[in-house]
Structure 1
Amino acid sequence: MDERQLRVLRELGELGSVTAVAEALRVTPSAISQQLRLLQRSIPVPLTERAGRRLVLTAAGQALADAAIGVETALARARHTVEEYVEEPAGTVSLAAFHSGAAAFYPLLLRRLRAPDSPRLALHDEDVAQADFPPLTRVHDLVVAHRLEHAPPWPRTATVTPLLREPLDIALPVGHPLAARSALTAEDVAGEPWISVHDGFPLLATVDAISAAAGRRVEILHRVNEIAVVAEVVAAGGGIALMPRWTSRPHPGVVLRALDGIEVHRHIDVLHRPERTARRAVRTVLRELLAAADTVRGQGAGWADRHAAGAG
């Protein structure tokens, strides 16, 4: 039995005929009769009987119709509870992000969502390969993920909201001979010792593209995923690296230079399952992520302009 069948039985007990029930529920009499037949199959005793030309409830049918009132009341309360949950502005929203994305976006979100009726954030860091970002949407409401320009797109099972298309620059230690140039080529940097990410992570494909463009395999000395650690290693003279222009934090010992001749951008997107944004709190956080992306872009571009001007 289901809710529709119980409601038909209840209405039949109150209205007294299949035709009247059909009119009340705005369906055909045959549809009402079908629902009654389906309900009867699950009950071992008769629920209705003929009284002249009318179909009326038996004692068992009336008892079940009375119980249907309690069922409909419980379902109405459940729906109301769900509606309150969906429309709750201050509900908890689980948000995951890769490390440099978390460092760039989390402080901005926490500052923007300070009001008492703002969503409560549950923040997580997830340092995973590109293919492992979509599965995170099973356990988090929103996932800030990144992929390279020419990498495979996100699967259609995830809803994607673009945040940034971020340039990737060459990070050099202050005082390095190449730092005097405003832009570099693959040939300029291929002979340098490199710091790069572990296998399977997005930035590695761009290092491979630099090798291909230069016609020689670059030497990767250090494998470090955390951008802040990469900056420290670069500043200490451990090698050069690719570094995101806007989401990496400025380091006094590191300069960034654009790379010419190769498409060096990454997409930063928010992934989520479609049903997650049924909640008002999740929609609010997603909207604030978009606003934060404008701030990240503006702050990063301003720092890069000042840094380039000061290095000439």
Structure 2
Amino acid sequence: RVALFPSGAALLLPGLLDALEGSGVDVQARDEDLPAAAVPTLLADYDVVLTHRDERAPDSSSPRVTAEPLMREPIDLILPPGHPLAEQDAVRPDQLADERWISVRGGFPVDDVLMSVAAATGVQPHVVMRINDFRVIEELVAGGHGVALLARHAVTSRTVVQLPLAGVRAARIYELARRPAADDVPAVATVLQAFRDVAARVRD
């Protein structure tokens, strides 16, 4: 039983299932769009939880949880076509002080990075919408309704402009969480290794 956050599932789950084909392990996967703080609760129902956190946040390890960093994914700025900053190679936080932001709900890595932008500029961001579905965010940005931060591999739109942020640690860390001693269960160990192999291919 595996829980994955939706954009992580889109990136890794197809490859995970391919890697496990013929292994004898039957994966029952479900998307759970919850912050990393919910991991202990999720582990009451799942054997492995793929979660994500801001790279500056502490990992999810505790006496009840074993957490393993899996991969780092940059978080980029996305802009509507024709935006005045769209021709730059990267954007500094101070250039974004007057923007209308579309963000996710609080407690998720993308919003944590937006708070870092606020700290760098000294200006509280003007968040006009909070939506956790990255596809909806892309469509709103493409339509000129604001700018946003999105995880790099989650961007699918060919319309928006995707640029790195300069001068801010902007990334999320994927973590594999499980109960202590779960690695001793052969099926769990097989799934964990398959996750590592798929993440390595994504990084490469």
TM range (shorter): over 0.9
| 8 Å contact kept, 2:78–2:150 | yes
- TM-score of the superposition, structure 1-length normalised? 0.62
The one-letter amino acid paired with 1:162 is P
Deviations 1:77-129 (A, max 9, x none): xxxxxxxxxxxxxxxxx1101111111111111222222x4311100111112
Alignment CA distance shift 1:205-1:183 (3 Å): same
Whole-angstrom distance in 1 between the partners of 2:25 and 2:94: 49
What displacement does 1:282 show?
Answer: 1.2
Larger radius of gyration: 1
Partner AA of 1:140 in structure 2: Y
Give the deviation of 1:177 after TM superposition: 2.1
Q: Tell me whether 1:266 sits opposite 2:161 in the alignment.
A: no
- Cα deviation for residue 289 of structure 1 reads 0.4
Normalized against structure 2, the TM-score is what?
0.93
* Structure 2 residue corresponding to 1:163, chosen from 62, 66, 70: 70
Identity of matched residues, %: 37
Residue of structure 1 aligned with 2:7, choices 92, 95, 100 = 100
1:218 pairs, out of 106, 121, 125, with 125
Find the aligned partners of 2:200 and 2:157 in 1 and give their Cα distance: 22
Corresponding position of 2:38: 132
Work out whether 1:204 is the aligned partner of 2:122. no
Tell me, in whole angstroms, the C-alpha distance in 2 between the residues paired with 1:231 and 1:118: 38
Partner SS state of residue 212, structure 1: helix
Q: For the residues of structure 1 that align with 2:87 and 2:109, how far apart are their CA atoms? A: 28
- The Cα of 1:180 is off from its aligned counterpart by 0.4
Aligned length: 203
Amino acid at match of 1:123: A
> Looking at both structures, which has the greater relative contact order when contacts are Cα pairs under 8 Å and sequence separation is at least 6?
2
**Letter paired with 1:262:** V
Q: Pairwise mapping of residues 67-216 of structure 1 onto structure 2 (< 5 A)? A: 94-115=1-22, 117-157=23-63, 158-216=65-123
Q: Deviations over 1:178-225 (max 9, x none)?
A: 110010011112211111111233322221121121121111011011
Extract unaligned runs of 5+ from structure 2: none
Partner of 1:76: none
CA distance in 1, matches of 2:49, 2:175: 8
Of residues 235-244 and 198-207 in structure 1, the stretch that sits farther from structure 2 once superposed is 198-207
More helix by share: 1
Q: Aligned with 2:200: secondary structure?
A: helix
Alignment RMSD (CA, Å): 1.5
Alignment of 1:30-49 (within 5 A): none
Structure 1 spans left out of the alignment, 5+ residues: 1-93, 299-312
1:271 Cα deviation from its structure 2 partner = 0.3
